[in-house]
Amino acid sequence: MITVIDYGMGNLRSVVKAVEKYTSDVRVSSDPGSIGDSRGLIMPGDGAFGMAMRHLREMGWLAPLLDYIRGGGFFMGICLGYQLLFSSSEEFGHHEGMGVIPGRVMRFPSGELKVPHMGWNSVELRNRSGFLEGVPDGSHFYFIHSYYPEVSDRSWVLGEVNYGVSFPCIVGRDNVVATQFHPEKSWKVGLRIVENFVGAVCS
């Protein structure tokens, strides 16, 4: 069973529809107890970092999620669900994150480029990963975000993009993969990442 985590931060239907292309064994759950019989977890999300962390704590997701990830469970983070993996964020003040990946989330610097970073952008792959099998270097993905991560441990970085600054937009290690862009909205190349994740979970 692949569980899409509902912690009150965004519309989850597009993610579920993407997963359903490759397996019917998927559900949406707001119950942290559902982690127990899940073979894979997907955490999407839209909105503010601080509010999202508060929801994870108040709904009882945070500790079980960390135990699951540190125990080697398959996990995919998308957009805000990607940013929450980092140590902290400066969005509307300082907020502690999940701390899975050492680094901080910062706002794009002011300049000529519009914020949010919205639309298609090309991604340069930096490290090999089974989650990126069949994804060509330089592929375009769909982004919409105003904050980006600075990663302290480069071994986590699978792909980078440039929008005024160069920053990691795909991270991963072992059974974890996460993307700043929306793979479910990035046509065939984005869906390939979802397919690879489902294949790993269901193998």
- Active-site residue numbers? 79, 182, 184
Among the listed residues 25, 30, 24, the one whose alpha carbon sits nearest the alpha carbon of residue 12: 30
Dist CA 107 CA 16 (whole Å): 29
Structure tokens at 87: 């140590």
DSSP codes of every residue in 36-65 = GG-SEEEE---S-HHHHHHHHHHTT-HHHH
Buried b (16+ CB within 10 A) or exposed e, 70-87: eeebbbbbbbbbbbbbbb
Dist CA 68 CA 49 (whole Å): 21
Is residue 143 a contact partner of residue 113, using CB atoms and an 8 Å limit? no
Please state whether beta strands 2-5 and 40-43 pair in parallel, antiparallel, or not at all (unpaired): parallel
Q: Please give the single-letter amino acid code of residue 4.
A: V
Cis peptide before 32 (omega within 30 of 0): no
